[in-house]
Structure 1
Amino acid sequence: MRPQQNPMVLVSADLLVRLMERTGDGRSVSVRELARVAGCHPSKIGHLRTGERETAEQDEAAAIAKRLGVDLLVLWQPTGRTVQAPTEPKLLAAVAG
């Protein structure tokens, strides 16, 4: 079991989109590639890009920042005792009828 981590809050969805278009090495990165590097589902990256989601786990946030070629705190804000993480909307689960 992975130890509990405080989520990181995305500073700006627009900044994420711009950084994905031109990473630190000058090339673009796709949603799928960024998700693979971060170890999450591509829909999570898509939701971060549109602003539907604002948080990621610390290890995901670090992997995203590293792949984009920026320092972690350029793109993410830590949460904890002084900065509360926003609540994510509840997802509906499919129920067999």
Structure 2
Amino acid sequence: MRIQSNPMVLVSADLLVQLMKRTGDGREVSVRELADAAGCHPSKVDALRNGRRRNSSHDEALAIARRLGVDLLVLWQHSGRTVEAPVEPPQMVAVPA
């Protein structure tokens, strides 16, 4: 299994199905068309639609949202930090005099 740096989590499979039936331009989009737009295999989109899968890469999630005509965070949420955690400076060590 490939580790994703910042996977996105689908908010609702039902919402994805509804948005596929009526996209931002008013037309229906098929699983294959959505997969082509996202650059992934149609089985991945089908698994998202059926609730068997909830995670996707940020790039795929963004492409799916754009094809459906919605903002990214309407359909997806971040699964972790959106920015890298700050690095703590090393602690100073007391040296006996």
Per the normalisation by structure 2, the TM-score is 0.78
Return the offset for 1:81: 3.8
Q: How many residues align?
A: 79
1:36 aligned partner? 36
Partner of 2:94: none
Moved over 2 A (4+): none
> In structure 2, how many angstroms separate the alpha carbons of the residues matched to 1:58 and 1:81?
13
CA distance in 1, matches of 2:18, 2:30: 12
Cα deviation for residue 5 of structure 1 reads: 2.6
Instruction: Give me the TM-score of the superposition, normalised by structure 1.
Output: 0.78
- SS in structure 2 of the partner of residue 29 of structure 1: coil
RMSD over aligned Cα atoms? 1.3
The structure with the larger Rg is 2
Match of 2:76 in 1: 76
Distance in 1, Cα, partners of 2:40 & 2:63: 10
Q: Mind listing any 5+ residue stretches in structure 2 that lack a counterpart?
A: 83-97
Corresponding residue of 1:22: 22
